[in-house]
Chain A
Amino acid sequence: MYGNDFPGEDPPGGLLGEVEAAEAALRAAAERGRGAIEPSEDLAAYFAEVVAADQKIEPRDWMPEAYRRTLIRQIAQHAHSEIIGMQPEGNWISRAPSLKRKAILLAKVQDEAGHGLYLYAAAETLGVSRDELVDLLLNGRQKYSSIFNYPTLSWADVGAIGWLVDGAAIVNQVPLCRCSYGPYARAMIRVCKEESFHQRQGYEILHTLAHGTPAQKAMAQESVDRWWYPSLAMFGPPDGDSTHSAQSMAWKIKRFSNDELRQRFVDMCVGQAEVLGLHIPDPELRWNEERQAYDFTQPDYDELMRVIKGNGPCNRQRMEHRRRAHSEGAWVREAAAAYAAKRAEKEKVAA
């Protein structure tokens, strides 16, 4: 709702166009015919044919058990990330430096709650309940994106999260709009359309700071210095070490490898950093004419594994915050359920 509240460049460059293309492709694939395998003949062959035709698998279709499990894991982790991801930015709502920024940030964090709910709803079509997924998050058996285990120490971090973290998320997510599982693809189309405003607002915050007072510019640079490598790590381990990738690519859950997406992100960011007048903290960053891409320093994957295992700066804090909100809200949820039950009972008696 605040998407047009600020003027400006369009740093992500055509990502919205990709989302719309994915939406069009979804419709076009549905129009096309397919081979004539009937589900009654061979379930697995039927499933493979639908995926091969770039059509969507829908909730009541037969699907391999591992496909279902992979999707549940991925969609749930994505939903958890949206919910936990509200915390680092939410940390600055009360201190936002202008009323306009306060409103934009509040709307953005609210959007993330909405995205979490769209995604939980998509996961539920696979036969798992949101309550179960929330329990898995709260007892530590399911993860969320490690990036949210880093602290937001300055206002510029709200900008850096928008530019780098949301930027990396969009690079990851746009291909998911073409995912073979219908409810997930549809949820991602909705999420990506709203997400493009997030990246722009972050970019605009940094742009304003970088062109502000010397103290503001220093704040912006210090923040980019802290967030650059953790953002690169968001694409996951290098392809050689990635456990889930190959099968997910075959099933068209995933469309590009971790390293391909990371490269795409770096190539996008370089020009955007120049416009900002901020420096990307990588001395090895340079254009490679042969590859037609930037060479860059890889993030510290040992650090990534350490943070995933629970030892980042804020893992405990984020989980404790979520657990407390959940447990302190229990009496409210119970009251609403009790009220609904009483009402249902009264209606039954009246009828």
Chain B
Amino acid sequence: MNGPFAFTLALGDDALVAAQRLAEWTTRAPEMEEDIALANIALDQLGAARLLLSYAGELEGAGRDEDALAFLRDDREFRNCLLVELPNDDFAVTMAKLLVLSAYQVPLYTALADCPDERLAAIGGKARKESAYHLDHAALWVKRLGDGTEESHRRMQAGVDQIWPYADELFAAWPEAPVDPATLRSDFDHTVSAVLAEATLTVPEVGWTPVGGRDGVHTEHLSYLLAEMQVLHRAHPGARW
């Protein structure tokens, strides 16, 4: 794979699919204030996705803009990690997903902000601050659910257990990329284990670690997500919106 294009596309797809899932919470959050917070995070992810996909389109040089990339590719052409396409499930699972995603995106965007590619550096500089906020938000809830009631502790541990195997894929080595994700792992482990410890939760044993997203081989869930996201756009080929 050619480094900058594939890498930019993968990051853009991560952010887009994460935004799509987070936006599903709108009108459904456990508290009205949280509805607003989740929408904010979804908007940040969507904003990053638009910047990354637009730039990916330019790098590719085939005339595809953000919408062509978002709405006119099939699931096998998406390069997002499996983590972001997993269904929201309950609020604990969503917070476990957000914790893992943001604990990966913070060091990723931070490193990107210093990379030689000026466009990626600018995107990293902006997204880094937003991701720090997402991480903070996820950590805040993981602590409250982990150390809240018996039920919330049980659900939060189950959420972490369910999500944990998908973290590995995020850090697969990619030496030719502007930032090699393998270099971010220790930062991630440090952040997440501190949050889990404070939340009275256990770091799960690592056994099964599914991969495939970066090669376009996804879970069953992505095709449904895309079917819904793309249906209207595809029904009116060439239309402007």
Contact = CB atoms under 8 A, between A and B. Distances in A.
Interface string B225-241: 00011011100101111
A90 interface: yes
Interface stretch (A11-19, A58-66, A109-117, A251-259): A109-117
B66 interface: yes
Interface in A315-351: 321, 324-325, 328-336, 338-339, 342
A82 to B, nearest CB: 10
A129 to B, nearest CB: 14
A329 B29 contact: yes
Contact of B67 (A87, A99, A212, A215): A99
Contacts of B228: 94-95
A103 interface: yes
Contacts of B29: 325, 329
A109 B27 contact: yes
Interface stretch (B41-49, B101-109, B127-135, B178-186): B41-49
A110 B241 contact: no
Interface in A198-229: 205, 208, 212-213, 215-216
B208 to A, nearest CB: 28
Given A99-B50, A113-B39, A332-B91, A90 B27 contact: yes
A339 B144 contact: yes
B24 interface: yes
Nearest to B33: A117
A114 B26 CA distance: 12
Contacts of A268: none
Contacts of A113: 32, 35-36, 39
Interface in A9-42: none
Interface residues on A, range: 35 or more
A256 to B, nearest CB: 30
A235 interface: no
Interface centre among A93, A99, A212, A333 (most CB of B within 10 A): A99
A216 B239 contact: yes
Contacts of B145: 332, 335
Given A335-B152, A336-B148, A339-B143, A98 B236 contact: no
B149 interface: yes
A97 B232 contact: yes
B30 interface: yes
Given A98-B67, A155-B232, A338 B148 contact: yes
A8 to B, nearest CB: 15
B152 A87 contact: no
Contacts of B28: 321, 324-325, 328
B36 A110 contact: yes
Given A99-B49, A331-B152, A208 B91 contact: no
A171 B231 CA distance: 35
A176 interface: no
B20 interface: yes
A101 interface: yes
Contact of A334 (B32, B152, B239): B152
Nearest to B42: A106
A329 B31 contact: yes
A329 B47 contact: no
B151 interface: yes
Nearest to B144: A339
B148 A94 contact: no
A333 B26 contact: no
Interface in B141-161: 143-145, 147-149, 151-152, 155
Given A98-B241, A114-B36, A86 B152 contact: no
B32 A83 contact: yes
A102 interface: yes
B6 to A, nearest CB: 20
A101 B241 contact: yes
B23 interface: yes
Contacts of A212: 239-241
A177 B138 CA distance: 38
Interface centre among A87, A93, A96, A324 (most CB of B within 10 A): A93
Given A97-B236, A99-B50, A155-B232, A106 B39 contact: yes
B70 interface: yes
Given A321-B27, A339-B148, 4 more contacts: A95-B231, A96-B232, A109-B39, A339-B144
21 contacts: A87-B27, A93-B26, A95-B229, A99-B16, A99-B49, A99-B53, A101-B241, A102-B46, A103-B47, A106-B23, A106-B39, A106-B43, A216-B236, A324-B28, A329-B30, A329-B31, A331-B155, A332-B91, A335-B152, A336-B148, A338-B148
